Structure 1
Amino acid sequence: MSPPKGCSINTGSSDESEDSEPLVKTDEVPPQCCSARLNLAVLMFLGLAVVYGLRVNLSIAMVAMVNTTDTEVAENSSVVHACPLPSRPENTSDVLQQPEGTPQYPWDAEIQGWLLGAFFFGYLFTQIPGGYLAGHYGGKIFLGLGVLGTAALTILTPLAAKWGPYWLFALRVLEGVGEGVTFPAMMAMWARWAPPLERSRLITLSGAGGSFGAFVALPLTSFLCEMLGWPAVFYLCGGAGCIWAVFWFLLVSDDPRTHRRISEQERDYIVTAIGPQGTGHGWTLPLLSMLFSVPLWAIIITQMCSNWAFYTLLTSLPTYMNDILHFDLQSNGFLSAFPYLGSVVVSTLSGVVADNLIERRVLAVTTVRKIFTLIGLLLQAVFLAAVCYAGCDHILTVTFLTLCTSLGGISASGVYINQIDIAPRFAGFLLGITNTFGTVPGVVAPIVTGYFTEDHTLAGWRKVFWVAAGINTGGALFYTIFGSGEIQPWAVTD
């Protein structure tokens, strides 16, 4: 049933909203174009793009930072290639050529692995406290300082590398500590800024910055390493984060009530639409109720399953492109990044479609979240499995991997924003919980991938993709059964 003409539903995210009287008429809803809430989404998009760029740039720069001409490496390079080597002489996997005088270090594979994984040690431990504090005080200061602190530390990367791997390891841990508060703080801010009927599009737009950051950072890092030397990567990326922080602190407010440039019409619309859920949650939390909340566990388990595939591709796709398909490093960086551009487009469009389905009363919130999660994760699983049969066909493999990552963006309007449906006031804290669990695959998946692919065979990589596809499918089915879009009783406020 469609809503009465001239009216809109702004009563919250409960599935019973069809029976409620509309609080705001359509002609009273301020347009999104140039609005304060859209400006906030764009700034968050850019901030999260910087965050992901700071997170992944070391994985490409490491190739240029390490001296791989040691005789020990050469002696261990006799590997039987799963796919035939390319006939084109320019398509090789040699190290990046850098300006003369750029330092390199004799770090073996074990040291490199510890340095690449150091980020997650810090990232795991600040998600929950960051979400808790952002939900109480507001997310502006935590998101802003999270990006600014990580950016400032990134500028120190060349100095830490010069001092030794232990210093660089400690620096990366601190960067993870800084970034750990960013996503929970983002969700805590949207609890106060996103009207229920605009949640999907605003949150997916801002969250798409992460995929955009990966898309830009992977090829840009290779280019900067070759043209300016690997230290320039960290100076420029860190500087970009510091510049972003200036605009963030000048233009953003925790609450529409305190924003200096928002129109009175937009402020009243947001405050009325969100209602009492758009306030801080105080110091006490219903922890026991959260512990036994089935919809919350549905989000946790499903995000862990989905993130297994995400982190498998994020950390291991460049290796697959190099070891199996034998792309040169420049092509490797671009092709590894290209799927994330599709994810930006698909996830943003899915947010618009999801909001329209809810606003027009075509489907209830719970149904929308389940459908988008199911479609996104199942399509991702299908194309992961398809990669297993692409063999050494470069075009098919790249096509399937691009479709896998791109269409997986559909689930951005499902399980990934579900925290704000079931408990708006506690959304930042809940995202901290779900993101903490969701980061575990980032630690485990690369280890499993390394175990399956130690002999560099196609059969080993097929196991990697099949496992990821199976876990994705399990998560989709679990959420379809146990997920919910209704505000939970323990989250209701007067």
Structure 2
Amino acid sequence: MRTSRFACTVGRSSLFSHPQRVRAMGQDKEPVHDPSEAARLTDLPGVHTPINNEVEAQQVKCTPLDSDVDTEPDYVTRRGWGARHSLVTLACLMTVLMCTMRFNTSIAIVSMVRRPAHTTATSNTTTDVCPRPHNITSEQPEGEEGEFDWDEATQGLVLGAFFYGNVMTNVLGGRTAERIGAKPVVLWGMVSSCVLTLLSPAAARLSTSLFIAIRLAIGLAQGVIMPALNRCMLSWVPPSKRGKYNTIIYTGSDMGTVIALSLGGWLCDQTFLGGWPAAFYVFGGAGLLWCLAWAFLVTERPEDHKRISEEEKKYLLANCTLKRGKNGVLSALPYLCKITTAFIFSIIVDRATAAGRLSTLGVRRLSMIIASYIPVVGLVVLCLVECNPVAAVVVICLAVGVTGTACCGMFSSHQDISPNFSGTLYGVSNTIANTTGFIAPAVTGIITLNNQTLRAWNTVFLLSAAIYGATCTFYVFFISDQIQPFNNPEEQKKGKKNPC
């Protein structure tokens, strides 16, 4: 059975590009010129532009589109910046700020903790360690004095507390957004995260346990945000534009990592706001300013927006599927490569889909093949570079850089297969993904415990490569771009066919 999509026009002005698929037995449906048929099409699910009178109905013509792409009408494109662009920009800034508050502790802890001098035996002649023994002095200098005497176990708990909290609320965030709306859920998560971040320095000085509890609570608060945002995007981003706009949004997390590692490291070295506490005050304060913008500039749906143009509102209602330091800079380099790759790739696939050269399913598969199989090769190559730092950085930049293509892949799949439950689906997948935040360090610690050798780290790299390859293969073979039956449980119970 083949399916067609229809664009309906009044005179020369496009009213809408129908996002739903109209079933036709055996062949594409011919262009519709019957006014009654045209009027009937406007009653299909997802079309919110009614035909007001008989004269208007007689001027309506619905013709099948050549490709499965809901292209933007000229009157929408000509207007330039729209309300949906403002929302996507705010969403990108949000992911930036979320990551700065997530990883500020990772860079600040270097200045927070006392680093005692340690001695390395010069008689060790093994070549299975980095750096090589002949490059190691007999005594490493003691670093600057920190405020806290935390051992490695305590530091691991401090750094992992966020992820323990984050995995608990992803599903809750998605389901709550589907029930009460995405805007309040996102706002609550961000306000809570920002306030707790501002309180973190005081909590650390009062009690280590309190500081760990604060980090756990920040993880809980941030856990609800991305599933809720995923739900919000369905009202504002047409299906054919998800790859491009999701790339803009999700690369914000990489921008945030870059900022946290570079700017955060610089703030910790300054006397401004007491050194390391500045990494919490600056990022938390910036987050509160963002919350004000979100509260006053964003609405749940296009029809509720006071400043949106009528043309953009019609376009969105017709096409959206929802029912109403040095080391710090070096560490950030792979993520800069990832951001660059993500934007370039999104532009390429956006043009390819618009030209009909790539289907939605093809984009999803190609994106994940690049984002996963190339890192598999990179992880294997890392086992061969040994102690060559330049080669290691190049390989890591390439391996991490290409993962930016995943923004057009798995990050868009939730919206493809179930618009009504995309928030919940994102919550489930993100919960599983975030468990690696504490599982990966634990497994790595077991493998490298008292065994900081090349062979031990090669085991870590090869294990990671195997996981990458297996999960990508599963995705490529089983992913779909079709709306699944569970998207409409009420219709499924009644025995109705999914009109999409």
- The verdict on a shared fold, with TM-score over 0.5 as the criterion, is yes
* C-alpha spacing 1:33/1:338, structure 2 compared with 1 (3 Å): farther
* Superposition RMSD in Å: 3.2
1:333 is matched with 328
Q: Distance in 2 between matches of 1:418 and 1:93?
A: 50
Alignment coverage as a number of residue pairs: 435
* C-alpha spacing 1:150/1:226, structure 2 compared with 1 (3 Å): same
Q: Does 1:373 align with 2:368?
A: yes
What are the superposed Cα offsets for residues 99-122 of structure 1, whole Å, 9 maximum, x if unpaired?
Answer: xxxx61111111111111111121
Task: Work out whether residues 13 and 421 of structure 1, in 8 Å CA contact, stay in contact via their aligned partners in 2.
Answer: no
**One-letter identity of the residue aligned with 1:353:** I
2:132 is matched with 84
* C-alpha spacing 1:87/1:199, structure 2 compared with 1 (3 Å): same
1:50 is matched with 97
Q: Does 1:462 align with 2:458?
A: yes
Q: Distance in 2 between matches of 1:13 and 1:486?
A: 11
Task: Work out whether residues 143 and 185 of structure 1, in 8 Å CA contact, stay in contact via their aligned partners in 2.
Answer: yes
User: Whose RCO is larger (CA < 8 A, sep 6+)?
Assistant: 1
**1:5-16 superposed matches below 5 A:** 10-12=17-19
Cα deviation for residue 480 of structure 1 reads 1.4
Cα deviation for residue 356 of structure 1 reads 2.7
Q: Distance in 1 between matches of 2:201 and 2:294?
A: 27
* C-alpha spacing 1:113/1:24, structure 2 compared with 1 (3 Å): closer
Task: Work out whether residues 246 and 411 of structure 2, in 8 Å CA contact, stay in contact via their aligned partners in 1.
Answer: no
Q: Does 1:419 align with 2:403?
A: no
Cα deviation for residue 334 of structure 1 reads 1.2
Cα deviation for residue 425 of structure 1 reads 1.6
Q: Distance in 2 between matches of 1:179 and 1:360?
A: 38
**1:341-360 superposed matches below 5 A:** 341-360=336-355
Q: Does 1:436 align with 2:482?
A: no
Q: Does 1:161 align with 2:157?
A: no
Q: Distance in 2 between matches of 1:362 and 1:394?
A: 41
* C-alpha spacing 1:9/1:353, structure 2 compared with 1 (3 Å): farther
Cα deviation for residue 7 of structure 1 reads 8.6
1:152 is matched with 195
Q: Does 1:120 align with 2:167?
A: no
Task: Work out whether residues 353 and 359 of structure 2, in 8 Å CA contact, stay in contact via their aligned partners in 1.
Answer: yes
**One-letter identity of the residue aligned with 2:132:** P
What are the superposed Cα offsets for residues 191-238 of structure 1, whole Å, 9 maximum, x if unpaired?
Answer: 111111111111111111101000111122221111131111111111
Cα deviation for residue 414 of structure 1 reads 0.8
Task: Flag the structure with higher helix content.
Answer: 1
Task: Work out whether residues 164 and 438 of structure 2, in 8 Å CA contact, stay in contact via their aligned partners in 1.
Answer: no
* C-alpha spacing 1:143/1:457, structure 2 compared with 1 (3 Å): same
Q: Does 1:478 align with 2:474?
A: yes
Q: Does 1:445 align with 2:440?
A: yes
1:170 is matched with 213
Q: Does 1:270 align with 2:313?
A: no
Task: Work out whether residues 186 and 225 of structure 2, in 8 Å CA contact, stay in contact via their aligned partners in 1.
Answer: yes
Q: Does 1:236 align with 2:282?
A: yes
1:143 is matched with 186
**One-letter identity of the residue aligned with 2:164:** F
1:489 is matched with 485
Task: Work out whether residues 447 and 460 of structure 2, in 8 Å CA contact, stay in contact via their aligned partners in 1.
Answer: yes
Cα deviation for residue 93 of structure 1 reads 8.0
Q: Distance in 1 between matches of 2:396 and 2:173?
A: 34
* C-alpha spacing 1:415/1:93, structure 2 compared with 1 (3 Å): farther
**1:265-344 superposed matches below 5 A:** 265-275=311-321, 277-279=322-324, 330-344=325-339
Cα deviation for residue 24 of structure 1 reads 6.7
2:112 is matched with 65
**1:247-262 superposed matches below 5 A:** 247-262=293-308
Q: Does 1:39 align with 2:67?
A: no
What are the superposed Cα offsets for residues 328-368 of structure 1, whole Å, 9 maximum, x if unpaired?
Answer: xx432111111111111212232333333333222221122
What are the superposed Cα offsets for residues 50-74 of structure 1, whole Å, 9 maximum, x if unpaired?
Answer: 100110111111111111227xx66
* C-alpha spacing 1:347/1:95, structure 2 compared with 1 (3 Å): farther
**Sequence identity (%):** 31
Q: Distance in 2 between matches of 1:77 and 1:256?
A: 68
Q: Distance in 2 between matches of 1:216 and 1:136?
A: 34
1:292 is matched with none
Aligned partner of residue 112 in structure 1, secondary structure:
helix
**One-letter identity of the residue aligned with 1:48:** T
* C-alpha spacing 1:13/1:424, structure 2 compared with 1 (3 Å): farther
Q: Distance in 2 between matches of 1:157 and 1:352?
A: 40
**One-letter identity of the residue aligned with 2:173:** G
* C-alpha spacing 1:158/1:371, structure 2 compared with 1 (3 Å): same
The range that moved more, 479-488 or 80-89, is 80-89
Q: Does 1:226 align with 2:269?
A: yes
Q: Distance in 2 between matches of 1:176 and 1:269?
A: 37
Task: Work out whether residues 11 and 274 of structure 1, in 8 Å CA contact, stay in contact via their aligned partners in 2.
Answer: no
Aligned partner of residue 320 in structure 2, secondary structure:
helix
| Aligned counterpart in structure 2 of residue 209 of structure 1, from 248, 252, 263 | 252
Q: Does 1:388 align with 2:380?
A: no
- Give the TM-score taking structure 1 as reference length: 0.81
Q: Distance in 1 between matches of 2:21 and 2:142?
A: 55
Task: Work out whether residues 368 and 414 of structure 1, in 8 Å CA contact, stay in contact via their aligned partners in 2.
Answer: yes
Aligned partner of residue 277 in structure 2, secondary structure:
helix
Structure showing greater Rg: 2
Q: Distance in 1 between matches of 2:79 and 2:255?
A: 22
Q: Does 1:130 align with 2:173?
A: yes
Unaligned runs of 5+ in 1: 280-329
Unaligned runs of 5+ in 2: 1-5, 8-12, 30-63, 489-497
Aligned partner of residue 358 in structure 2, secondary structure:
coil
